[in-house]
Structure 1
Amino acid sequence: MFLSRNAVNADEFSRVTLCFFYPFSYDMVHFGHANSLRQAKALGDYLIVGVHTDEEIAKHKGPPVFTEEERYEMVRGIKWVDEVVEGAPYVTTLETLDKYNCDFCVHGGEVECFHVSRFHLL
């Protein structure tokens, strides 16, 4: 494992804090979503979950069942989530990780990355 340039300076803290960003639509939240969030939280210290807009979901998957606001609240209610980013971009870039000071991006089955081969994803 490596730490990105976004990791905090270990000299300033007793240990390094790892931040993970997990973008998803979270429409019809179910056990699989909660379980994947539990696993993502176990990887590090702080889990930021990005929830996509209605417009992004409709563009890529069809119209959502729940509204953005309902999805934000559902995700906030999951105990492993430390922070929710409303209107997260559908494609996660390094700029997105930098904006939220995250070291890694976590994904489930559907991976959308800008200019990254599937063979280079961890």
Structure 2
Amino acid sequence: MTVVQRAFIDWCIAYCKFRIVDDMSIMLVDYDASSYDALCKDGRLGKYGYLDSGMVEIGRSRFPDAPGQPEGSAFDEAYDIVCTALDEWLSGPVMPIEQVSFPPEGEPPDDFDPLPSNQ
């Protein structure tokens, strides 16, 4: 793995950790989520969880597929590294419970989307 590829993976891990604790802090996702996959399912996130489309595009360009391999397979392998790191991180407490607050009162608007529109 190149230094650029490793830096990309580290960036993805850090970005996802930020998004997770940010969502946990206002209870958009479970405080006690035990795996990244479960957290993404609960949050109804897409195939690449908290990564935005620009990050996926960069990842696909940084992890080219070997000849004869399915499209995107090299990036999927790199994303597995991200998921494993996040699973390990989520296996313990990731933030103090006193930092979790409740979302504002009332129902969210019909067009509420907790994820940026570019996902």
Alignment TM-score > 0.5, same fold: no
Normalised TM-score (structure 1): 0.32
Question: Structure 1 or 2: larger strand share?
Answer: 1
